[in-house]
Structure 1
Amino acid sequence: MLVIDDSRFVRKTFASILGASFAVREEADGEAGWEAVRTDPSIVMVFTDLDMPKLDGFELLERIRSSSDPRIRELPVVAISGNREEANKKRAASAGANDFIDKSADGSEVLSRIQNLLRLVRTSRELEASQAALAQSTTHDPVTGTLTPHYLLTEGRKHFSHARRHGAQLSVMALRIDSYGDLASQVGKETAEQLLARIANMVTANLRAEDSVSRTAEATFMIVSMGTGPPQMLAFARRLRGQLEGAHVTWRGQPVRITSSFGAASLSIDAVGSIEELMRAAMQRLQAASRQAEPIVGYEEARPSGPATLPGDIERALLVLEQTDPQPLGDLAGEVAKRLLRIVELFRRKKPG
């Protein structure tokens, strides 16, 4: 327990009340109290005077409640004051105080209020933990019927491990419905979510049984595709974008235009060590699609975020060679291309898996 008051008498009074049941730390002003809160993780509750030098109780409350650290931001804070005016209590409550205790309160009342507050905090934290566990155990998004992000990550880790062990292809595609924000403003969130569910059904209908799709943000989806290489993933993105743009979706008899952006990443191209990194690469390319005004950003179009690695460079070169038509290159260059393509074929045959 941390007791902050510029009056030594008040500090010692509360310390004697609390000391029988709790370890107590004392500070004489708001700045010293804030430093204690910031640096001492053993503090589980704060008692603070409201009228203090350097930093008053209201300012201290503001710092605590606006902290980026959840441990600090969620600390129970009890305001202690000799000012019994209702306006003072309301101001303390508005600033984030969990309770208000008069300095003249006797020991039994103080301890009773503390126990009630601790019980309330414990119940609240247990509820939050229960909700977090429930979110992790849920497998499907209630709006679109696609997988939850947590479950996609679980499935993606299995696919990534399998692909790494067996030298198999694995690709990830991030898809965002760019027109969703305007749509929600036009028709309302409930109707927009119904249309989003229809779009999700269109996406799902294009997937194989071994593919997984999740809604990872309000209008963003992530697809994990086993056995799919870079060219196939980009072709799938182009086909899906064409279907979305050509979809006959209407609202109140008026056609609704669907615009979308895509970003793709593949294990055979991107030097990554986990499914999370592969997903991050796909999301970075999705963001690049917005910045570059390109609907689809895959591999050769993406601006690399760091130095390329040797395996990725080799794979990228092989993809270019495989897509090269040697005929228009002329006799000498065409012969060189043909020989390189034969080397590509030998390289492919010798690859693991």
Structure 2
Amino acid sequence: MDFNLHIDRTRSNSYKWDNRAAVFGTEDVLPMWVADMDFQAPPAVIRAVRERVEHGVFGYTYPSPSYYESIINWMQNRHNWKIEKEWIQFCPGVVPALSLIVEMFTEPEDQVMIQTPVYPPFHSVVKNHGRELVCSPLLEQDGYYSMDFEDMESKMADGKVKLLILCSPHNPVGRVWTKQELQQLADLCAKWNVLVVSDEIHADLVFEAGSHTPFASLSEGAAQRSIICTAPSKTFNIAGLHTANLVIPNKELRAKFSKALEIHAMGSATPLGLAAAEAAYREGAEWLDALLDHVRGNMDYVCDFCEGHLPEVKVWRPEGTYLLWLDFRALGLKGKELSSFLIEEAKLGLNSGDSFGTDGDGFMRMNLGCTRATVEEAMRRLEAAVSKRLHSIDEK
């Protein structure tokens, strides 16, 4: 569990590292963007995958009873949420699941609501199916974000919003919604008959134990009006194994989603993905606790560095995820100009804030699931670039 061990990810077909030229126009950037970490998976996961590989036969596979048991136990132990085996529906990924849900649970004339700035695929899965996207911007005050319930209700009141995609914990702003906030959202959606799809892929990556509340655990009413998307992919850095699990307490919703999987032939699992996920849920808790300590340290380092050396770059300490939301608006940089500055001057590859919605313009998302040495080098580069820019402005 040495999270400062450097692992060379180049020449491994890494989307994050080997695709820099295609994404940023140059390989001369330190990539801290797409949400995967630069760490090896937990030892138990590597061992389970190795044993499965040594078996040597990789035919069609289905989730075993022990696989479901590992998920049930994890949800109970980690989130104090009691779920049933029948509620669990396997899917190759959360984004494919969101796409299926938008297609299956809405009609072309329906509206789908998201809370921006938010994970870019939330936008695309709605638009790709020809549904009307309705954005409810989060309220931001001094870097702290909250839900705008008044705005949401005003946009739900005409009855056209049929589905709300919730990001919980929130990517990119790092909020872990309180139980009170989620209950207010549940009440609002019940009032206007809106189905909630809660993407909880970052649920395990919270810095205060027990602070995440699964939306369906709020009440029986919330459980019957929601679909919860979970996965071990972000938690244990196994996104490439394409393993996700939806928890759907409502029998009719579950049957409808299962039908969508059947229509698109997307219900099959891979033997390595199943082996990795089960091992992670059974034996990964200690590794995860150590990971959270490391990521929290990286977060504190960047926040303290900006406060002491880069006051022009505003940042709020997140409550969850390994993603940091950086505010560059004080530098007078937005959109392509900001991206060019970071790529060309700071030599940093980050996620552009405007890809999360227009209200993300002037921001950047930084992935801190990496070694401390990477973080320190990033901040050195950023400080030098900002200093050079400010000096240039002063000379003018």
TM-score, length basis structure 1: 0.25
TM-score, length basis structure 2: 0.23
Higher relative contact order (CA 8 A, sep 6+): 2
